[in-house]
Amino acid sequence: MNRSAPPLGVKIPNSALEFTDDASLVIVILGASGDLAKRKTYPALCTLHAKKFLPQNCKILGYARSELTNESHKGMIKPYLKGTEEEIDAFLEITEYVPGQYCLAGQGPSVFKSLCDKIEAHEDGRTRCNRMFYLALPPSIYPEVCANIKHELPTNNSGWTRIVLEKPFGRDLASSEELNRHICALYREDQLYRIDHYLGKELVQNLVVMRFANRFFSPIWNRDNVSNIQIIFKEKIGCEGRGGYFDKYGIVRDIIQNHLIQVMALVAMERPCTLSADDIRDEKLKVLRCTKPLASDNIVIGQYGRGVDADGNLRQGYREDETVPSDSNCPTFAMCVLYVNNERWNGVPFILKAGKALNESKVEIRVQLRDVPGDLFLQKAAPKGTQTRNELVVRLQPDPSIYMKMTVKEPGLETTITQSEMELLYTDKYVNAVIPEAYERLILDCIYGDQQHFVRRDELQAAWSIFTPVLHFIDAGGMVPEEYAFGSRGPLEADELRKRVGHVTNIIQRDITWDDTPSHTPRFTTHAPLSP
């Protein structure tokens, strides 16, 4: 087999028959003409094919309502593919497009007949036929599509069938459970791969290794030493062009309830018994079940108005977008404070922050330690009488890195105290290493049957239980988002909330990402003090 060994951390299949020459793999992308498919799914598959991580007998079938030919569909996705011309052409050779509709099984003629014919033609003569269905579709049609797959594309061999489901998975606990009820009646949990691409990011995957393979973290990773933990998602761009979609969900459903809460669970979980998918997900679930439902006095929401972006351009406000209702109260910014009610984390605030149209784009985890008791150097610090806290920062983007902020003496005859950092910058340390895209890793995990980085049904249920009460309160008009200027750091109330729960502003030069572009003049007039 002309295929590389699986990368470290990818589960090797138990049966060698899965990828022998007489076996096959068909990957069906439903919603193949959509934005997600062309920007994420197809490029990830192209890279995996170029690196020879896909089985030799692999076929990729795209299916969507759009009336496209094979050639026009290939022309549509080709600009998004990465690699040499030879690699891209070789990948396009194994792709094919099938136009069609979606409807409930049993209503009229089989809409998947043409798709079924293509699958069976590729599988003809194979002893083991594996199928992966990637649903790059609105969740509202998941039940009918899954029913079609189950009833109209039956398998009569020893291969596996796996279903990849994209977020958002519901709007609240009830709608999420309704979706799960329909889908789980058709497929077992071990066949379902609820994808959260943040779990595929390199430094998120490093969290388990970093926490449990380094002894010096264990004694300090608790409420006695940690003051607060921030998990931050910031984007410079607004919702231009996708306001119609975004307005249905808002920033809490779109980012915090899935991406950030999953990262929080990895940060806070106990040591798993093994590295198996279920052992890790069991520990994450315990964290989520111990987390109190979000209270309305522990959340600040905002919506961006007109302002100046990082390049000095005047940008329109959220409500000025033609795809957004003029009276929308959809939050484009939120800061939430959650508490995990267990022995390790009791009383420690987990501050989850996400926003669009801000002053910078970055995603990071910040673990701020408590003050040093009986500090000998308070009068040597600048300004005098203040203490700078140690802080561990895991930056997912830009420039993936891990650094610890620590207090040191400045060089010279005087004893002047300052803060510096011990740092691992991935682009410097691993110069020739290629950091894989999240979708590449997650699709490969699905092929190999490793569910560690996918969300289990009970995890999803526990996460929605945390946020559903306050989301219903916001939807009913119980809270109105505070307006903040496009290109600013967000609502003023967010800094006040963070200070109230015990966060101490502690900025060093390494924390700054917004002055990388010379033309960008930071605007801090709406905030004091400055904080990430």
Answer for the pair 76, 38: CB distance below 8 angstroms, yes or no.
yes
* Partners of residue 163 on adjacent β-strands: 133, 192
DSSP assignment of 23-48 equals EEEEEEEETTTSHHIIIIIHHHHHHH
d(CA 526, CA 101): 51
- DSSP E strand boundaries for 410-450: 417-425
What letter would DSSP give residue 416? -
d(CA 110, CA 114): 9
Q: Cα separations (Å) of 78 from 49, 51, 93?
A: 14, 18, 12
Which amino acid, 110? S
Give catalytic status of residue 472 as yes or no: no
d(CA 198, CA 231): 12
Token couple for 102: 């979606």
d(CA 169, CA 175): 8
3-state helix, strand, coil in the chain (%, to 5): 35, 20, 40
Question: Residue 171's closest CA among 288, 261, 249, 260?
Answer: 249
**49, 73, 122, 259: which is the annotated catalytic residue?**
259
- DSSP E strand boundaries for 291-384: 299-305, 307-308, 314-315, 333-339, 349-355, 362-369
Question: Residue 153's closest CA among 178, 117, 188, 129?
Answer: 117
Strands 314-315, 333-339: pairing is unpaired
d(CA 444, CA 184): 23
Other CB atoms closer than 10 Å to residue 82's CB: what's the count? Answer: 12
Q: Outline where 172-320 has alpha helix (H).
A: 173-184, 202-212, 243-246, 250-251, 261-268, 277-290
Answer for the pair 448, 11: CB distance below 8 angstroms, yes or no.
yes
Which residues have C-beta within 8 Å of that of residue 236, sequence separation ≥ 6? Answer: 309, 310, 357, 358, 359, 360, 361, 487
Distance from the first to the final alpha carbon of the chain: 50
Token couple for 458: 């009970």
Other CB atoms closer than 10 Å to residue 339's CB: what's the count? Answer: 18
d(CA 194, CA 460): 9
Question: What SS3 class is residue 393?
Answer: strand
- CA pseudo-torsion sign 419, 424, 429, 435: negative
Token couple for 135: 């649903």
CA angle 438, 198, 237 (to 5 degrees): 95
List the catalytic residues. 259
